[in-house]
């Protein structure tokens, strides 16, 4: 029986008093017996936590009652055991490191396309304006090797901070097309979309909610393989179930 609720969420939002938030979030999560990772930075929050359903929902209710996190978009999945060994709450310079300070997603969100619309575009090969659609996987190469959207561009990066240089090398592949960047949950592809727009590539979108939301809403249409996740579940299939039992 899969009784453990796993949640993942991120939000780019200008966040002050990160040390204060770290202590309060740690205290609430510990009191409810949750495990996982919460990253905080001046650009926002990124979290992956798991526990009993009532405890996880109580934590979310507390967190989302505070103004910076009131509309935090949550993605849910289930497992038989908690896939994290401990609780870690950290303050970092970025919640996902790009090392490109002009990209400030807390100030301006990247344009996005929802999962069902992307699936429809991939059926047709073009977007609603008739432009060719290409997808760009912004994850690390070893993640891509577990599964990806069919035909997606994959620049074989080993860490996300390599993306800006890879973009300089490969940008000609994207010119004149509608480019949809994607990643596991949305955080990397949002920064990637903003950077592509900054360097002058037109018609760039991110996949809203990433692969996890795409699986939830489309059943994995046009996706080959599974989605790697950074916890003990290893990979998830298109029903968001662990491929390897935990």
Q: Minimal CA–CA distance to 3: which of 61, 53, 76?
A: 53
pLDDT at 1: 65
Which pLDDT value is given to residue 245? Answer: 46
Active site residue 227: no
Domains delineated in the chain: 4-91 (3.30.70.100), 112-236 (3.40.250.10)
Question: Percent of the chain at pLDDT above 90?
Answer: 96
Work out the mean pLDDT of the chain and round it to a whole number. Answer: 96
Q: Which of 183, 193, 205, 236 is catalytic?
A: 183
Instruction: Please give the span between the terminal C-alpha atoms of the chain, in angstroms, as a whole number.
Output: 11
Q: What are the tens digits of pLDDT across the range 122-132?
A: 999 999 999 99
Alpha carbon dihedral 148, 149, 150, 151, in 10-degree steps, equals -100
pTM listed for this prediction: 0.92
Which residues make Cβ contacts (< 8 Å) with residue 36, sequence separation at least 6? 29, 47, 48, 49, 50, 84, 87, 88, 231
Structure tokens at 136: 């760009």
Give pLDDT tens digits for 132-168. 999 999 999 999 999 999 999 999 999 999 999 999 9
């Amino acid at each position: 029986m899969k009784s453990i609720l796993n949640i993942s969420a991120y939000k780019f939002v200008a966040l002050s008093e990160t040390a204060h938030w770290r202590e309060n979030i740690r205290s609430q999560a510990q009191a409810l017996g949750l495990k996982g990772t919460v990253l905080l930075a001046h650009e926002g929050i990124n979290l992956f936590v798991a526990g009993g359903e009532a405890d996880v929902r109580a934590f979310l209710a507390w967190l989302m009652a505070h103004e910076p996190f009131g509309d935090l978009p949550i993605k849910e999945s289930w497992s038989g055991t908690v896939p994290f060994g401990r609780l870690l709450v950290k303050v970092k310079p970025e919640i996902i490191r790009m090392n490109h300070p002009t990209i400030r997603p807390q100030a301006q969100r990247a344009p996005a396309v929802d999962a069902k619309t992307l699936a429809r575009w991939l059926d047709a090969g073009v977007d609603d304006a008739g432009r060719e659609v290409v997808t760009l996987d912004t994850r690390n190469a070893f993640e891509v090797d577990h599964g990806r959207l069919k035909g997606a561009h994959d620049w074989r990066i080993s860490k996300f901070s390599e993306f800006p240089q890879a973009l300089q090398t490969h940008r000609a592949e994207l010119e004149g097309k509608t480019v949809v960047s994607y990643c596991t949950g949305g955080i990397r592809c949002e920064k990637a979309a903003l950077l592509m727009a900054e360097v002058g590539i037109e018609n760039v979108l991110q996949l809203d909610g990433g692969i996890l939301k795409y699986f939830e809403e489309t059943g994995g249409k046009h996706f080959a393989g599974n989605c790697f996740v950074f916890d003990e579940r290893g990979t998830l299939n298109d029903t968001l179930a662990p491929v390897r039992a935990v």
